[in-house]
Amino acid sequence: MGTLAEEIFSYKLGRPVHAGETVVVDVDHVMSHDTTTPLAIKAFAKLTGQKTGKVFDSKRSHIVFDHIIPAATIAAATLHREVRNFAKEQDISILQEGICHQVMPEKGFVVPGSVIVGADSHSCTYGAFGAFGTGMGSTDIGVAYATGRSWFRVPETINVNITGTLPAGVYAKDVSLEIVRHLGVDGANYRAIEYTGEVIENFSMSERMTFSNMAIEMGGKAGLIAADETTRAWLQGRTDQEYPLLRAVNPHYERVIEIDVTNLKPLVACPPDVNIVHPAEEVTNVKIDEVFLGTCTNGRLDDLEIAAGILAGRTISPDIRMVVIPASREIYLEAMRLGYLEIFSRAGASVGTPGCGPCIGRHFGVLAPGERAMTTMNRNFTGRMGDPTAEIYLGSPATVAATALTGYITDPRAILLEESRA
Ligand SMILES: CC(C)[C@H](C(=O)O)[C@@H](O)C(=O)O
Ligand code: SF4
């Protein structure tokens, strides 16, 4: 009996567990990536003895190369080599086919009711599958690699209940930004956010992942959505594992937030914080230098489809550069088959290898001093995409595609309306 977070921990431990309790849990999977694994290896080596130590289970330990792939600098290439050597010693296969948070579910590692820890803050994305996924520092992940266990303080839960009908031109990302606007960047510190309501129930797995992904932008420990038939259908063919469809039972939520999306407009988060949210139509005078479509928030097939729909047969503003990076190889290949990549390329975009790309400003589209980017990312922190004086704006794939056409932040409804008249 309890919130979804309490139900998951109760299921894992085989006894009723309540918020506030500190528990030690056998984790189902442990993940780190090219940027965080080197530090995790240090912690792991300290704990286990460099030469003799073995990870708790090499099939449930995952290293993903995604943040700087292919290596952009000698330093990155050297780190990659160090991690490759560790992976070989430990019999861990390195996943090199996209962003960790996309690839982990695609490979069937994320099933409802499981607990997954990752050395990346957006590991909360797994909550979209009714799994308790959470990000931890590399030291904690080193310990999890060694022992297969992690400790948690079972979090209190904020329920975000989303109702109404999404207007045309408004997407899951806009709703996510609206939630951050409500809660603030620390409004869910060490809380689980549990998303419920008809809007969530009708959303695809991809749209649900956008929500769960952004839980950490409010300080959330997890961003949970109860698994259902949509989850089951997505997992079909990806895992043979049995799993429970857990849901909250008579939950006691710390807070309930009701959001009706019926009158929502396309939104933009302005720098330097994700909760500085304005309707796109109110910031249309902002001149943009680069647009970026991708990331673990919005680099999935439906995101590319929305943007391709807007860009088909058009070319981007000559004053702008556009970068498109599908979140995984699976998405890349499907987008290629469906002709989206051709649409982007013909429109004038650079299409990149699946991975994080310019999201953390390490390669493929860094910003010069004073430049501005309009992106589908989850964070607009100062300096994230390159020079510290550059600015980052966040919005939906539609807003990003519409902006690519005009060179200024553009409400996608303007373009969609024009299309429906034509
Ligand atoms: C580099 C990594 C540690 C970081 C994170 O944990 O989130 C990155 O993925 C990000 O999005 O800022
Ligand atoms: S795509 Fe961006 S937010 Fe997601 S894991 Fe990579 S760097 Fe972090």
* Shared-domain flag, residues 103 and 218: yes
Confirm whether 54 is domain-assigned.
Answer: yes
HEC readout, the chain: CECHHHHHHHHHHCCCCCCCCEEEEECCEEEEECCCHHHHHHHHHHHHCCCCCCCCCCCCEEEECCCCCCCCCHHHHHHHHHHHHHHHHHCCCEECCECHHHHHHHCCCCCCCCEEEECCHHHHHHHHHCCEEEECCHHHHHHHHHHCEEEEECCCEEEEEEECCCCCCCCHHHHHHHHHHHHCCCCCCCCEEEEECHHHHHCCHHHHHHHHHHHHHHCCCEEECCCCHHHHHHHCCCCCCCCCCCCCECCCCCEEEEEECCCCCCEEECCCCCCCEEEHHHCCCCECCEEEEEHHHHCCHHHHHHHHHHHCCCCCCCCCEEEEECCEHHHHHHHHHCCHHHHHHHHCCEECCCCCHHHHCCCCCCECCCCEEEECCCCCCCCCCECCCCEEEECCHHHHHHHHHHCECCCHHHHHHHHHHC
Q: Is the pLDDT of residue 394 over 80?
A: yes
* Shared-domain flag, residues 35 and 182: yes
Which ligand has its closest atom nearest to the C-alpha of 297?
2
* Shared-domain flag, residues 206 and 277: no
Take atom 2 of ligand 2 and give the residue whose Cα is closest. 359
Confirm if 127 and 103 have CB atoms less than 8 A apart.
no
Q: Is the pLDDT of residue 228 over 70?
A: yes
What is the mean pLDDT of the segment spanning 393-422?
92
Quick: pLDDT tens for 179-212: 999 999 999 999 999 999 999 999 999 999 999 9
* Shared-domain flag, residues 62 and 126: yes
Find out whether the beta carbon of 10 lies less than 6 Å from any atom of ligand 2. no
Task: Report the number of distinct structural domains present in the chain.
Answer: 2
Q: What pLDDT, on a 0 to 100 scale, did the predictor assign at position 415? A: 86
- Residue 326 pLDDT class (50, 70, 90 cuts): very high
What is the mean pLDDT of the segment spanning 238-258?
98
Confirm whether 361 is domain-assigned.
Answer: yes
Confirm if 247 and 225 have CB atoms less than 8 A apart.
no
The closest-lying atom of ligand 2 relative to the alpha carbon of residue 120 is 5
* Shared-domain flag, residues 236 and 325: no
Residue 100 among known ligand-binding residues: no
Confirm whether 169 is domain-assigned.
Answer: yes
CATH number of the domain to which 80 belongs: 3.30.499.10
Q: In the sheet that 222-224 helps form, which strands lie side by side, from edge to edge?
A: 222-224, 192-196, 157-163, 255-260
Confirm whether 246 is domain-assigned.
Answer: no
* Shared-domain flag, residues 315 and 204: no
pTM reported for the whole predicted model: 0.97
Q: What pLDDT, on a 0 to 100 scale, did the predictor assign at position 49? A: 81
Q: Is the ipTM value over 0.90, yes or no?
A: yes
* Shared-domain flag, residues 224 and 354: no
* Shared-domain flag, residues 184 and 275: no
Report the percent of the chain where pLDDT is more than 70.
99
Quick: pLDDT tens for 275-310: 999 999 999 999 999 999 999 999 999 999 999 999
* Shared-domain flag, residues 188 and 305: no
Q: What pLDDT, on a 0 to 100 scale, did the predictor assign at position 252? A: 98
Q: Is the pLDDT of residue 66 over 70?
A: yes
If one residue of 360, 380, 394 were mutated to test the ligand 1 pocket, choosing by the most ligand atoms within 8 A of its CB, it would be 360
Find out whether the beta carbon of 296 lies less than 6 Å from any atom of ligand 2. yes
Q: Which of 258, 293, 318 is the last residue of a domain?
A: 258
Residue 124 among known ligand-binding residues: no
Find out whether the beta carbon of 123 lies less than 6 Å from any atom of ligand 2. no
Q: What pLDDT, on a 0 to 100 scale, did the predictor assign at position 289? A: 98
In degrees rounded to 5, what are phi and psi of residue 85? -60, -45
Q: What pLDDT, on a 0 to 100 scale, did the predictor assign at position 12? A: 98
Nearest to 333 by CA among 65, 32, 97: 97
If one residue of 325, 378, 394 were mutated to test the ligand 2 pocket, choosing by the most ligand atoms within 8 A of its CB, it would be 378
Find out whether the beta carbon of 216 lies less than 6 Å from any atom of ligand 2. no
Find out whether the beta carbon of 380 lies less than 6 Å from any atom of ligand 1. no
The closest-lying atom of ligand 2 relative to the alpha carbon of residue 357 is 1
Q: Is the pLDDT of residue 50 over 90?
A: no
* Shared-domain flag, residues 136 and 25: yes
Q: Which amino acid is at 90?
A: Q
Find out whether the beta carbon of 67 lies less than 6 Å from any atom of ligand 1. yes
What is the mean pLDDT of the segment spanning 77-92?
97
What is the mean pLDDT of the segment spanning 259-278?
98
- Residue 214 pLDDT class (50, 70, 90 cuts): very high
Q: Which of 203, 228, 258 is the last residue of a domain?
A: 258
Take atom 3 of ligand 1 and give the residue whose Cα is closest. 120
Which ligand has its closest atom nearest to the C-alpha of 296?
2
**Average per-residue pLDDT for the chain:** 97
* Shared-domain flag, residues 212 and 276: no
Find out whether the beta carbon of 295 lies less than 6 Å from any atom of ligand 2. yes
> In the numeric block, which tokens belong to residue 254?
């710390």
Q: What pLDDT, on a 0 to 100 scale, did the predictor assign at position 51? A: 64
Q: Which of 258, 285, 300 is the last residue of a domain?
A: 258
Domain range enclosing 288: 268-421
> In the numeric block, which tokens belong to residue 15?
């006894």
Q: Using CB atoms within 10 Å of the CB of residue 236, give its burial: 0 to 12 exposed, 13 to 18 middle, 19+ buried.
A: exposed
* Shared-domain flag, residues 222 and 103: yes
In degrees rounded to 5, what are phi and psi of residue 36? -100, -15
> In the numeric block, which tokens belong to residue 306?
């929305």
How far is the CA of 375 from the CAs of 25, 174, 358, 380, 417, in angstroms? 37, 13, 10, 9, 22
> In the numeric block, which tokens belong to residue 413?
């409804």
Q: Is the pLDDT higher at 422 or at 186?
A: 186
